[in-house]
């Protein structure tokens, strides 16, 4: 049981990569299922226990109390995972040196539009600009819409900072003002930090509750208790597979990943009520 839970914790804290397909991470999750099956087999052969030993009981309480919220967080964040195509494009750009560089304004491609800020904020302009980008293969003129400049409208010959990949030879390689390429479904660091607070709160509450009310027969395998709980967890894993492996699944991959968020808590609730 401890090995199974350790494998699941590894998926949450160590094994989740930035882009699908998460082949190695899915294998780690499958390994935790194998450990769970081994725990079931070992439990059937173990002698009957009248209760949990104090030290083992404390370890099990902490493991379950924090594993359930962390697994829920992992399912939730996987629901926001970017597409496989986005991941491949990001890796290609990073390999080509994507970053913050300077480029020269060749000419204006449209009239500057003055922005409407509050009276105490600096004036800014949005302008379509033709920039000379110094790629490794040679400089190219690229039109970038709605470039932002403060105080004064841009002029030919001035220098502007943009994000691009100098080693990317493609003519449609992205040139962006702020560097963010997030599309619908991408989760940022800020969002991840925000979702950690409910995990800490839930882990603290569950630790206190399970410390005094952990059912005494949880560690001893009981088919009517643990097999349905294992089935609920396997269902959650199956719901995550389309997103983790980058399958489109007719647009149902993301809703299925969000639906899997309820399975860790549902498995714990079943064990608690049935033990």
Measured CA to CA, the distance from residue 262 to residue 42 in angstroms comes to: 28
Percentage of the chain exceeding pLDDT 70? 77
What pLDDT sits at residue 230? Answer: 87
Residue 19 dihedral angles phi and psi, to the nearest 5°: -135, 145
According to DSSP, residue 44 is labeled H
The 10s digit of each residue's pLDDT in 39-87 is 677 666 666 554 444 445 677 788 888 888 988 888 888 887 777 778 7
Task: Give, in order, the Cα–Cα distances in Å from 233 to each of 89, 154, 238, 271.
Answer: 33, 57, 9, 12
* Size (the chain), residues: 275
pTM here? 0.63
Percentage of the chain exceeding pLDDT 90? 23
- For residue 197, give both structure tokens: 């607070």
* SS3 label, residue 270: helix
Q: Is 112 a residue whose pLDDT tops 80?
A: yes
Q: What is the mean pLDDT of residues 113-132?
A: 80
Contact 245, 195 (CB under 8 A): no
Higher pLDDT, 214 or 143: 143
What is the separation of C-alpha 55 from the centre of its chain, rounded to a whole number of angstroms? Answer: 34
Q: What is the mean pLDDT of residues 106-126?
A: 80
The 10s digit of each residue's pLDDT in 87-111 is 788 888 989 999 999 999 999 998 8
Place of tokens 């470039």: 147
Q: Using 50, 70 and 90 to split pLDDT, how confident is the model at 120?
A: low
């Amino acid at each position: 049981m401890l090995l199974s839970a350790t494998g699941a914790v590894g998926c949450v804290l160590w094994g989740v990569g930035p882009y699908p397909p998460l082949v190695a991470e899915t294998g780690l999750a499958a390994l935790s299922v194998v450990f769970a099956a081994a725990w079931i087999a070992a439990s059937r052969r173990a002698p009957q226990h009248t209760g949990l030993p104090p030290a083992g009981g404390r370890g099990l309480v902490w493991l379950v109390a924090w594993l359930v919220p962390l697994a829920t967080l992992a399912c939730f964040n996987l629901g926001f995972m970017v597409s496989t195509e986005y991941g491949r494009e990001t890796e290609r750009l990073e390999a080509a040196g994507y970053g913050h560089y300077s480029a020269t304004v060749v000419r204006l491609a449209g009239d500057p539009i003055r922005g409407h800020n509050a009276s105490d904020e600096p004036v800014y302009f949005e302008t379509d600009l033709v920039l000379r980008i110094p790629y490794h293969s040679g400089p190219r003129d690229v039109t970038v819409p709605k470039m932002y400049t403060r105080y004064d409208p841009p002029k030919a010959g001035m220098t502007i900072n943009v994000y691009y990949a100098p080693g990317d030879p493609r003519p449609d390689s992205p040139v962006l003002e702020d560097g963010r390429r997030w599309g619908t479904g991408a989760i940022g660091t800020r969002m991840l930090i925000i979702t950690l607070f409910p995990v800490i709160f839930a882990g603290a509450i569950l630790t206190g509750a399970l410390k005094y009310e952990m059912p005494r027969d949880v560690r001893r395998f009981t088919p009517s208790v643990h097999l349905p709980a294992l089935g609920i967890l396997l269902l959650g894993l199956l719901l995550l597979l389309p997103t983790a492996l980058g399958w489109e699944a007719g647009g149902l991959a993301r809703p299925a990943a969000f639906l899997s968020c309820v399975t860790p808590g549902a498995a714990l609730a079943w064990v608690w009520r049935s033990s």
